[in-house]
Structure 1
């Protein structure tokens, strides 16, 4: 019997490179901090490799079991990459089909702003959830799950937009390329257009939320702190890259996929302290995968915060509305708040007025940070007084 060369406890401490476990199973440690399980096998004279997961999806024992299954297929002359013997076009992955759709349709037939938005939604919402599937394996439940996860994170408009762009992509696969026999999205009810929300968190609710995230370095807590301090969208915060940040100048640049115009977000001293405390690994700042992928655990994070704070009926996007309301409460002008939020005016005056209000935005976000500090301190004082009385 060949002794196993890996042990579960030492996996994350292995140096960068490929590490054999026996039976065709290898563990690959990436320079970015990520990792993957790889099954190596031979069919005839061809030596092939197949990624079967990573530590977030497969433990060592599960990876070994998977390798045994795949080795059994190889012994029967079946290629694990194509166990069903599908035609070449049927073996096309969702990720490959999306790239072809973007190259042959989106970037050719759509205006630049529309093309950027279509590509953004497919790559940030649909691709991470279904990209590893073969196109022929795509089922209605995969699409339903995507919609449900987006809606649970409080991004109703994004859920509807993602559904529409996914529908266009799958229709192209069916009607133009004939890669599909049935369009799975036809069995999925489209999400209802979200009702306009007016929810603003009270100071008491904010104090409770701030107590649970302030000073914490876990990805979900950093995400919430940055949502509050920058007043930006959830998707933008989760996709923040180190390359987008100038920590010396204290500026975060967001590339607007709709207008193509960069949106400059001044960073308060509190926001800069949080960002400088994060380990600079991988491309993404807010990440649960060592910077390899943007943070995507919105639903779980929201459920944990609901349980910890008891705040009723709120969404992550409500934090953006709350921040805007607090800035207005402090006497900051509506035009400055609008500039902080990245809303662009289409008036004739704005065509000629190119001043970006950067100084005013920086002052507004500094004031907003101070407001949060005040709310947190008042909440802590109140909690201490309540505890003292009860004792």
Structure 2
């Protein structure tokens, strides 16, 4: 038996009271939206439907908009209006909604991780700072917002991430991560009409003057760092690596990627391809630095290896890859320093970074009365007025004496009692 027809303005109360005849179905058309209505089955099931002629059909038919109880009347009526508009444009609502679902699936798949993967492949790989950018993403961004769709990201998500990074690793690291993520999102916006970066001005955690660091470690802080390093068991290369940053006055990755192919007799030649000023930088290897370089790893099968490495083969270090676990190891180092100071009743050590060791080495050279120009050359800085053709072997003797003076000054700091005994003996 065909459904019994009625036409009136539907209300929620009316729909609740609707009942189908004992031997048929009930169809109540809405007087507000043409073709829209409620259908009630013999068993009492109620659905919102739209009866009209859909594109490609020769006669009118009814399609379900939603079940009563699951869809509100106002929402169903609004959806019916939207369908009628699409039909008026010659579009089938079913096809449009299917395309919208496919688009949403694609959007959901476009996560922050997916964008970072593409950005790293297209823009980061091959950069001198590429490893640092990838490490920032891996350690700070991916664990926090990596699984989120970029289209669902809000400013509050970025702000929360930066606040956590600031608490864990300091405000400078938070701003460094912010800069990397901003570049990745700007890169995405160039090729994605629908994506708008949630990063806005005012998200930085430091001011420009604060980012220009001048931190150097005091003598007691140097002793604390060395004491803590001697207590670290893992990673095994980390104590030697950190000490090299001061004794060679290198940047983080310059020491981390030290390879025996760069060692030439008593010289360490950092190629311009991985040095900031794009010129080869030569560091005379003092006895103190030679001790940090160490011997060939037991698991290394060839004649060359990364000096600071944690990779193994057959349970033995093989030097196949450079050290990269900076964040985790630094946290462990800071924890040991904190424990040492607490046990001795001293105040916590002021926040510091590995790069501060390079600046500290330069300060120690000044204390050792090293000529300022030679000290700058030891840092790889180009002195104004040098000849146009760069001579990487220039001032080797002066640089060697400067690095030896640095090692001696460090030894005096680490062994103040021994220094006093030698002075008294004289």
Does TM-score exceed 0.5, indicating one fold? yes
Unaligned regions of 5+ residues in structure 2, if any? 1-102, 313-320, 422-426
Q: Shift of residue 300 of structure 1?
A: 3.3
Map Cα deviations across residues 117-173 of structure 1 (whole Å, 9 max, x no partner): 674553242245445835627752445545655537xxx3x6534422320211222
Counterpart CA distance in 1 for 2:411 and 2:265 is: 23
The 3 A distance-change label for structure 1 pair 120 and 201 is: closer
The one of 191, 196, 208 equivalent to 1:176 is 191
TM-score of the two chains, using structure 2 as the length reference: 0.53
Match runs of 1:130-149 below 5 Å: 130=141, 133-134=146-147, 136=149, 139-140=157-158, 141-142=160-161, 144-146=163-165, 149=168
1: CA distance, partners of 2:279 / 2:167? 31
Residue 244 of structure 1 contacts residue 253 of structure 1 at CA under 8 Å; is this kept in 2? no
Q: Tell me, in whole angstroms, the C-alpha distance in 1 between the residues paired with 2:180 and 2:249.
A: 27
CA contact (8 A) 1:144 1:188 kept: no
**8 Å CA contact 2:254, 2:270 repeated in 1:** no
Give the match's secondary structure for 2:149: helix
Q: Are positions 1:190 and 2:209 aligned together?
A: no
CA distance in 1, matches of 2:129, 2:267: 31
* Alignment equivalent of 1:233, drawn from 251, 254, 259: 251
Flag the structure with larger Rg.
Answer: 2
Tell me, in whole angstroms, the C-alpha distance in 1 between the residues paired with 2:309 and 2:177: 22
The 1:280/1:143 distance shift into structure 2, 3 A limit, reads farther
**Residues 56-110 of structure 1: CA distance to partner in whole angstroms, max 9, x if unpaired?**
xxxxxxxxxxxxxxxxxxxxxxxxxxxxx97356435656534543665679xxx
Per the alignment, residue 53 of structure 1 pairs with: none
Give the RMSD, CA atoms, in angstroms.
4.2
Match of 2:170 in 1: 151
Task: Quote the residue 2:396 is aligned against.
Answer: 358
Change over 3 Å in CA distance of 1:324–1:217 after alignment to 2: farther
Q: Check 1:122–1:305 CA distance in 2 against 1; reply closer, same or farther (3 A cut).
A: same
Q: Which one scores higher on RCO, CA 8 angstroms, separation ≥ 6?
A: 1
Q: Which residue of 2 aligns with 1:18?
A: none
Contact 1:265 1:340 in 2 (8 A): yes
Q: How many pairs were matched up? A: 286
Determine the structure 2 residue equivalent to 1:336. Answer: 374
> Is residue 323–residue 368 contact of structure 1 (8 Å, CA) maintained in 2?
yes
Shift of 1:368: 1.6
Residue 313 (structure 1) aligned to one of 350, 359, 362: 350
1:253 aligns with 2:267: no
Contact 1:287-1:293 at 8 Å conserved across structures: yes
Going from structure 1 to structure 2, the CA distance change for 1:313 and 1:264 (only over 3 Å counts) comes to: same
Unpaired segments ≥5 residues, structure 1: 1-84, 108-114, 384-391
